[in-house]
Amino acid sequence: MHLACDLAGRDARAVQLVAVSKTRSTDEVRALAETGQTAFGENYLQEALGKMEALADLPLQWHFIGPLQSNKTREIAARFDWVHGIDRLKIAQRLSDQRPDDLPPLSVCVQVNVSGEDSKSGCNLEDLPALATAVHDLPRLKLRGLMAIPAPVADGADPAAPFITLRDAFNALYANGLPLDTLSMGMSDDFETAIAHGATLVRIGTALFGPRTPKTSP
């Protein structure tokens, strides 16, 4: 990450690492936390809650980076510091309504479907300005920026294109008065490209923990 920042002429302190710890054991998370890593990303609520209880002695920051379901928003609003995958106003409203008053506003990103895939979650670019403005106006949320999970790039295509699309969308919203500060983009295979095109937060799992062990049939 530091080398990617150097090559892009950016300050390494401008890019935050979120360690994607889904499916990883509590011991693995604790070992990485002991090296100084504090931000961890989880996809599955029940798995994450167990880790939070086991690691409550550590000052960790928890990011929910998985798909959001209405029946899970209450616990997500109460237990997480960040939510990255907001793609519809209904979910954002539930998170705002359910965020406890004794906690600071929940930091959130709007997920954008930069690849235009029907199977991908995320707001389309045409609907983004209205959704981002509505999320920004919710009282118990703090809209930080945009997130994307681009589709694999076809042979011969520009691997930077999805990141440029998200950066341009971010810049347009910022120019229209939304006080954004976060571009959540880039994972183990492409974080250098994401950093070169403006990522301020990268979500990395395999490059930190190693390959996941495939689940075997009983």
Q: What is the CATH number of the domain that holds 36?
A: 3.20.20.10
Digit-coded pLDDT (tens) for 72-94: 999 999 999 999 999 999 999 99
This model's pTM is above 0.75? yes
State which residues form the domain around 52. 2-205
Does the residue 113 lie in any domain? yes
Total Cβ atoms within 10 A of residue 195: 27
Query: Which position has the token pair 């997500």?
Result: 76
Q: Are 122 and 112 in contact (CB under 8 A)?
A: yes
SS3 at position 203? strand
Does the residue 151 lie in any domain? yes
> Which residues, including other chains, have CB under 8 Å from residue 215's CB and lie 6 or more apart?
none
What is the C-alpha to C-alpha distance for residues 218 and 212, in angstroms, rounded to an integer? 18
Domain count, the chain: 1
Q: What is the mean pLDDT of residues 125-129?
A: 96
